[in-house]
Structure 1
Amino acid sequence: MIRRKKLPLQKHEGLCIYCSDSECRKYFFSTHKMETNEAGKRIKKESICKKENIPFSKCNSFHKHKYMARFQLPNSAGVKTSRTFDVSQYEEAVTKTIEFKQEIHNQIFSTITTDSQQETNSAYLHDAQIRYLEFLANINVPEHEKVERSEKHIEEQYKCIRLFNQSLQQKKINKKGIPIHKISDLHVGYFHKFLLEDMEYANKTYNNKIGSLKGFMKWAIDNYELTIKNPFEKVKQRSTRTNKTTITRNEFLALIDPNNMNADNGKIAVGKEKRKRNLYRDYLSDGIELCLHTGGRREEVVELQWNMIKKINGEIAYIEFNNLKVERILGEGFNDNVQTNIIPITKDLKNLLIRLGYNEHKNTNRYIICPDRKNQSTHTIMDNLSKGFTHFYKLLNTGRELQMKCLRKTYLTYLKLTLKGDMKKLDSHSTDAVLEKHYIDETIVSKAVAEMTIFGNEN
């Protein structure tokens, strides 16, 4: 039988009663007080329930009341830490509160080392994480140290940090109460197990999450001038398998067929709330087809403009655009000499470009895909292409699981067959210069234009 919990007038420091009802969530540091009324008589005045606005002793949600210890962390600018206890008696709660306070004391004050400089420079984990995310976003970063990073990259680092904090929370470790220089192999082990057993991540995803935390700790060690080693350096990379799966001609034609790729088939329900969403977009088929015939990455294709199409001897021959990925890595002021990417315009690609409006929009800065971008960002269009491809491919029930990246693999496979040893001159990963003093190797481009047809040898 669940009984109402009470607090004496002279209760133990830091102990309270917490209501876990979603409509209340109030901390009761006292259940009643003794006050003197106007007549000079001492009367009992109860705390009021936030949900029902009635005295504490009459609260109908008393079964959701829990004893809780709540303390302010030393030297933390008001940051509080708390823990609820699954006990029913006040005396038991007092014992748990004393144990909890001692645990906090041990976590904080056991960090005192002979290295006084490290102790001075260090910060609590949560504070360091906030500063790291600000650093990634170039907040309070000197101008000469700023690096351009995408919002997607920063969001991914934030997600990884949240996952690490969840793994610590499972072990009742407060991110606001543990100094950054006390993160050790033990905590890395918690994260390792959390990623594999709780999240059930595949090896590639596991490696990415570990890599993100390794980067965070490296920054923290440098930023706070810590004398510790990075505990994430000991984590071994888990083996991954490179997926070289390509899409077949019949699969691709079935994928973009209007009988498959249409608004009715794009309807899905998302999340526990089963929110309705439609993955179909009017530019989806054209965008996917452009990805196949250019072999470009999503962002490269979404950013293509008509004035990027170049001619040789009066005929459209190739698309030239900046290597955004490498330029971002090098940063502004160091990326002036980055080799541009070259995509030869094959017969298939030429026909597609003409169908999409080349003759009407040539030499303009109009986007080839989804030119009206008042309400859509590049990232949104990229996301729509990926999710749309995956969804509509699954409707084919081929027994295979393909992602949009298979289009680039398909393109490069046929390009390799066509150009053989000359392929490296058009591959953006190559260090061989495609542009030599602004001169295009017309022989290579012309060969690709004349001979390459994706799916050309398939029935």
Structure 2
Amino acid sequence: MAKRKHMPNNKHKGLFIYCHVCKKHFSWTRKTTLRNSKTVKEEPTCGETGKNYSICKNFEKHRYKSRLHVPGSDGRKASRTHDATNYADAVIQAIDFEKEFKSELQGLGQPIEIRNRHYLFDVQLRYIDFLDNIDVPEHQKNTLSDGRKNEIVNCLKIFNEALAKHNINKKLFIVNRINDMHVGLFHDYLLVDKNYKGNTYNGKMSALKAFLSWAIDRFNIDMKNPFEKVRMIPVIVKRDTITKEEFKNLLKIIKPENGIEIQGKYKRNRYKLYLKDALELGLHTGGRREEVVGLKWNMIREKDGEPVYIEVPNLKVKRKKGERFNTDVPPKIIPVTKSLKNILYRLRYDINKGKDRYILNPDKRTDSSIKSMNDALSLGFSHFYKQLSTGRELQFKCLRKTYLTYLSSTLKGDAKRLSSHATDTVLKKHYIDERIVDKAIKELDIFED
């Protein structure tokens, strides 16, 4: 957890605390002065709210930063943002930066355009702030999930590891020096050192390509993106589905005593009270983890007093379009088949229908609990499925593949109009094609008894 940063009065020369929200440099954080014969404690104030530094709510966006004067220039500064979390470490990093800065000036000759020199690590930190929507105009803000942002940050770290292996310092390396050779180093590091397969390799390369494209545009860097030349590795898409027998056996072994998993010195229990219900809903709705976790009773639409279909927000498409630009994204339509209806009634649909209440684990939902539920579905499925010893390695997403396989077989060309891969407009002025829904309800039967 991030802690508030502090700066002594006799600070190291050129070292500051910089706030990425109010854009203010703090050269001190607390001092005692003599005023009218009285000792008074003072603090600097936030550049945005005018309140004291010690109560600033944006302290997680504070960074230690060095600023050095470029000799012979008209007030120009060379700067570096440090990743230190305390003053002592920041001083060490500041001294290292000063040595590197002086060495580079001596080695490359002076008059060098320092103001246009964008160091890799500094730019990466700015990119992470961009992903967190810090200092981003409203129309450019993204809606990336925390999981996706963490994946991107991890890709940047792995790129830095690849460079470090060849003695390239991320804090001294300038972005516009990235070329095909460095992409090649990253390529080898992913395939040889990390032993990543096609999907993972492609994802890491795509993340670096996006990062560098952003940097070139953001800082107006005169260079071509060498990641544009990377060829993606062909990937064979696995269409593993779960069988009726496997699914029935899976539900049978989901018990507290079978949930224990040992990870080194830690012991986890993958059993959750809602896990069986979640897996059944996953199979019979074809929903992704977050869609299953987010199901509410008031999403269910009725006809003649009986549940007919569920309107589920198409989160994937809405995120891609971005906030305020996704109001026209139609929801996914999930037909309430005979088997799904039985599950809903077993979960007390008759009592809960129409309520703005989650179907699974409805009480005390928070952002962290929703994330933990998403993780519990995938980790729980994998843990219990391994105990079946089928010789296959299935994941939670196989339930969605199984559902879409049955849906496609039943509805033929109309299947895409109910799946999240729809290119047709499912809703036209709030009109549902009831013929398709009705056909799915009557004919779609997963694991018919």
* TM > 0.5: yes
User: 2:301 is paired with a residue of what secondary structure?
Assistant: strand
Kindly state the Cα deviation for residue 102 of structure 1 after the two structures are TM-superposed.
9.5
Q: Does 1:262 align with 2:259?
A: no
Work out the CA distance in 1 between the residues paired with 2:415 and 2:258.
Answer: 39
Amino acid at match of 1:236: R
2:411 aligned residue (407, 412, 419): 419
Matches within 5 A, 1:209-248: 209-248=204-243
Q: Distance in 2 between matches of 1:77 and 1:201?
A: 33
Q: Partners in 1 of 2:330 and 2:116 — Cα distance?
A: 42
Matches of 2:155 and 2:247, distance apart in 1: 35
Which SS does the other structure have where 1:436 is aligned? coil
What does residue range 36-435 of structure 1 map to in structure 2 within 5 Å?
A: 75-76=78-79, 105=103, 110=108, 120-257=115-252, 260-271=253-264, 274-374=265-365, 376-435=368-427
Alignment: residue pair count: 360
Distance in 1, Cα, partners of 2:290 & 2:83: 43
Deviations 1:165-191 (A, max 9, x none): 111111111111111111222221221
SS at match of 2:196: coil
Question: Relative to 1, partners in 2 of residues 1:368 and 1:181: Cα closer, same or farther, differing over 3 Å?
Answer: same
**Partners in 2 of 1:78 and 1:404 — Cα distance?**
41
Report if aligned partners of 1:184, 1:231 keep a CA contact under 8 Å in 2.
yes
Deviation at 1:105, TM superposition (A): 4.1
Question: Are the equivalent residues in 2 in contact too, given 1:107–1:178 (CA < 8 A)?
Answer: no
Give the C-alpha shift of residue 120 in structure 1.
2.9
Q: CA deviation at 1:424?
A: 2.4
How many angstroms apart in 2 are the aligned matches of 1:411 and 1:232?
37
- Matched letter for residue 264 of structure 1: E
The structure whose Rg is larger is 1
DSSP 3-state at the match of 1:317: strand
Q: Is the 8 A contact 1:346 1:450 kept in 2?
A: yes
Residue 80 to residue 427, structure 1, CA distance change in 2 (3 Å) = closer
Q: Report % sequence identity.
A: 50
* Contact kept? 1:247, 1:407, Cα under 8 Å: yes
The separation in 1 between residues aligned to 2:318 and 2:388, in whole angstroms, is 38
Deviations 1:263-315 (A, max 9, x none): 121111224xx211111111111101100000011111110100000012332
Give the SS at the match of 2:256: coil
* TM-score under structure 1 length normalisation: 0.74
Output the CA distance in 2 between the equivalents of 1:389 and 1:447: 31
The amino acid of 1:200's aligned partner reads N
Q: Which whole-Å deviations, capped at 9, do the CAs of 1:15-69 have from their partners, x for residues lacking one?
A: xxxxxxxxxxxxxxxxxxxxxxxxxxxxxxxxxxxxxxxxxxxxxxxxxxxxxxx
1:356-382 per-residue CA deviation (whole Å, 9 max, x = no partner) reads 121111100110111123465222111
Q: Is the 8 Å Cα contact of residues 100 and 172 (structure 2) preserved in structure 1?
A: no
Relative to 1, partners in 2 of residues 1:110 and 1:401: Cα closer, same or farther, differing over 3 Å?
farther
For residues 75-109 of structure 1, the C-alpha deviation after alignment (integer angstroms, 9 at most, x for no partner) is 4459699xxxxxxxxxxxxxxxxxxx899946995
Instruction: Read off the aligned partner of 1:263 and give its amino acid letter.
Output: P
CA contact (8 A) 1:108 1:179 kept: no
Distance in structure 1 (CA, Å) of the matches to 2:401 and 2:109: 52
* Distance in 2 between residues matched to 1:218 and 1:108, nearest whole Å: 31
Q: Distance in 1 between the 2:402 and 2:377 partners?
A: 17
What is the TM-score when the length of structure 2 is the normalising length? Answer: 0.75
Letter aligned with residue 302 of structure 2: K
C-alpha distance in structure 2 between counterparts of 1:275 and 1:231, whole Å: 43
- Tell me, what secondary structure is at the counterpart of 2:311? strand
3-state secondary structure, aligned to 1:439: coil
SS at match of 1:370: coil
User: Is the 8 Å Cα contact of residues 80 and 122 (structure 2) preserved in structure 1?
Assistant: no
Asked if 1 retains the 8 angstrom alpha-carbon contact of 2:297 and 2:357, the reply is yes
Deviations 1:225-244 (A, max 9, x none): 01111121111101111011
Q: Are the counterparts in 2 of residues 104 and 177 from structure 1 also a CA contact under 8 Å?
A: no
User: Contact 1:111/1:179 (CA < 8 Å) preserved in 2?
Assistant: no
Q: Which amino acid aligns with 2:217?
A: D
SS where residue 258 of structure 2 aligns? Answer: coil
> Which amino acid is the alignment partner of residue 240 of structure 2?
T
Contact 1:320 1:343 in 2 (8 A): yes
CA deviation string 1:233-258 (max 9, x = no partner): 1111011110111100000000111x
- Cα separation, partners in 2 of 1:268 and 1:113, compared to 1, 3 Å: farther
Q: How does 1:442-457 map to 2 (within 5 A)?
A: 442-456=434-448
Partner Cα distance (2:201, 2:159) in 1:
12
Moved more, 317-326 or 366-375: 366-375
Q: CA deviation at 1:409?
A: 0.7
Identify unmatched segments of 5+ residues in structure 2: 1-66, 71-77, 85-98
Cα distance in 1 for partners of 2:195, 2:186 equals: 12
C-alpha change, 1:312 and 1:122, in structure 2 (3 Å) is farther
Task: Determine if contact 1:279/1:384 at 8 Å carries over to the other structure.
Answer: yes
Cα gap change, 1:324/1:374 in structure 2, threshold over 3 Å: closer, same or farther? closer
Separation in 1, partners of 2:83, 2:398? 49
Deviations for 1:398-447, whole angstroms, at most 9, x for unmatched residues?
Answer: 01111111101100111112112222221221222222222221111111
**What is the root-mean-square deviation of aligned Cα atoms in Å?**
2.6
Q: Tell me if the contact between 2:286 and 2:400 (Cα under 8 Å) persists in the aligned partners.
A: yes
